[in-house]
Amino acid sequence: MRPEKIMVFTQKEEEFAGLLMSLGIKRNIAKVLVYLASIPEATSREIERGTDLRQPEVSIAMHRLIKEGWVESRESKAESKGRPVKIYRLSRPIGEIVDAIEEEKRTEAEKQRDIMQRLRTITTQSEDATSRG
């Protein structure tokens, strides 16, 4: 057996993941993002161990992160027989990803504000109609 180095979250990385989750980013996605931001690249297995997530959780997170264009993968031949190993890395700097999240949240907030303004308009119109009637 060969020795293996397993990366674990620091206090700062735990806080980073927590902040992402408080913005509505799913736990598994936040943890994978933070993990990949701290290293050049990693296999699924390394991500599982380093984030304390199960294989299906990592797989779901990867699917979403690749779809967003934030993570890319490549295949590497396994050391022994078997299927190639996928290796993942961020496709953009973490700062750009945070900027994209901020823009998405800003757009969501604007939509919510527009809905509230429309509700106020309808409420006012209903009250006016009631008071006249």
Answer yes or no: CATH 1.10.260.40 is held by domain 1-92.
no
What's the pLDDT band for 2 if we cut at 50, 70, 90? low
Going from N- to C-terminal start, the domains of the chain cover 1-92, 93-133
**Strand runs labelled E in 1-133:** 42-43, 71-76, 85-90
Mean pLDDT, the chain, as a whole number?
A: 90
pLDDT tens-digit series, residues 30-43: 999 999 999 999 99
Centre a 10 Å sphere on the Cβ of residue 81 and count the other Cβ atoms it contains.
5
pLDDT tens-digit series, residues 61-109: 999 999 999 999 999 887 777 788 899 999 999 999 999 999 999 999 9
Overall pTM > 0.95 = no
Dihedral sign computed on CA atoms, order 27, 32, 35, 36: negative
- List the one residue out of 31, 38, 99 whose CA is nearest residue 65: 31
DSSP symbol at 39: S
